[in-house]
Amino acid sequence: MAGKNVFYAQSGGVTSVINASALGVFDEVAEHPSTFGAVYAGKNGIIGALKEELIDVSQMSSRERAGLLHTPAGAFGSCRYKLKDIEQQRAQYERLIDVFRAHEIGYFFYNGGGDSQDTAHKVSQLSETLGYPITCIGVPKTIDNDLPHTDCCPGFGSVAKYVATSIREAALDVESMAASSTKVFILEVMGRHAGWIAGAAGLAQTNEHPAPQLILFPERVFDRGAVMAKIAEVVEQQGFCAIVASEGIRDAEGRFVAETGIRDAFGHAQLGGVAQRLAEMVRDDLGLKYHYAIADYLQRSARHIASQTDVDQAYALGRHAVRLAQSGENAVMPTIVRTQDSPYTYTLGHVPLASVANIERPMPEAFISEDGFSITEAARTYFAPLIEGEAFPPFHNGLPDYVRVQYHLVKPKLAPFSV
């Protein structure tokens, strides 16, 4: 006899490998039919549970299911929707439990970052209170790599590979034109409070390749005078300067250089445009010709240049999450535990959701150079294995052959609910 049904959902900013974690969950569940019943995916994350829009995973075609391993973005739809404290939004938590009860769901796998781990933790607590216990397991995901207690986060290794590749290629372009044209190039990357992505771009710098000559981290105060002086020095010595800037750099007063004044559903300041602002400073302070690029969604959706390590870990953590649930664990998140740097080896562990919910892990001080503009050898040792291996998707007519899942929704059993 099959056990309780399973609910899986994707949350927050998506990645190029989040669907690999979904496939890991589905594959592992299929191997334990006596423990788990039907598998549903939330349409647009937790909103799908609130609105009772449940996708029947069993109705996916074999091509769709297999394609999850190499297709970027959220195959089932994601969302930026944060459930507040239980006292403030008890009705929404109760709605979740009502939907889970109506569809005999006993397992909840929430694939997301720190806010998502917080939601899973709260649901596990309230489900006990309301008399319908649910096993809640958080599946880690964030390109920012800022979840604590895990060596790295699925999604990060592929972004790291993309930005390091991009700055190396762009720097070669700038250098070849610098004698009579552009002398400064700025690549803006994601990273609100943690500079992991910007730091990983430092892997592009070698004895043969000098760029990026500057990396600007959120962990360091942005000093306009010092940054402009460094750019001028590099251009004078090398003829050009390639810069990687995190979107989250802040001034001495703590203001984001690129804050727009808009906030998202999680209450985070919307950022973007720091490259343009830096370029304007280069123009006004140094009078140098510049170009800039904003990686934005390109960096997190670039499945065509994904890291094999990242894909493997994303899939493995999805499977491990199910194994944890089957073994009786609850309110935990599976983790990657590094056991060796070179060759890179790791094991899978887990930590309580309470220890990761809403907690951000910044770049360690030991990873940032003394002048604040580069990375150390310790950082290189950490980053290097995470971008290893090429996991090219299949191509058709010269383009990646990604899948789009057709949603087969389960018939609702409850009254409509507004979100």
- Active-site positions read 144
Beta carbons within 8 Å of 233's beta carbon, 6+ residues apart: none
Tokens of 345: 């080896």
CA atoms of 414 and 179, how far apart (whole Å): 68
φ, ψ of residue 108 in degrees (nearest 5): -125, 115
CB-CB contact of 257 with 228 (8 Å): no
Residue 410: Cβ-neighbour burial (10 angstroms; 0-12, 13-18, 19+): middle
In our burial notation (b when 16+ CB lie closer than 10 A, e otherwise), range 250-271 reads beeeeebbbbeeeeeeeeeeeb
237: its two tokens: 């010595």
How many other CB atoms sit within 10 Å of the CB of residue 80? Answer: 15
Q: Where are the strands (E) in 255-375, listed by range?
A: 290-294, 332-340, 345-352
d(CA 202, CA 211): 8
Q: Residue 419 and residue 51: Cα distance in Å, rounded? A: 7
CA 160 from chain centre, in angstroms, equals: 11
State the CB neighbour count (10 A cutoff) for residue 128: 13
What whole-number distance in Å separates Cα of residue 152 and Cα of residue 141?
Answer: 9
Structure tokens at 39: 């598998």
CB atoms within 10 A of CB 346: 18
DSSP 77-108: ---------TTTSHHHHHHHHHHHHHTTEEEE
User: Which of 161, 110, 133 has its CA nearest to residue 390?
Assistant: 161
Contacts of 363 (CB under 8 A, 6+ apart): 194, 195, 196, 199, 217, 219, 379
Q: Tell me 179's DSSP state.
A: T
Beta 4-10 vs 105-112: how paired, if at all?
A: parallel
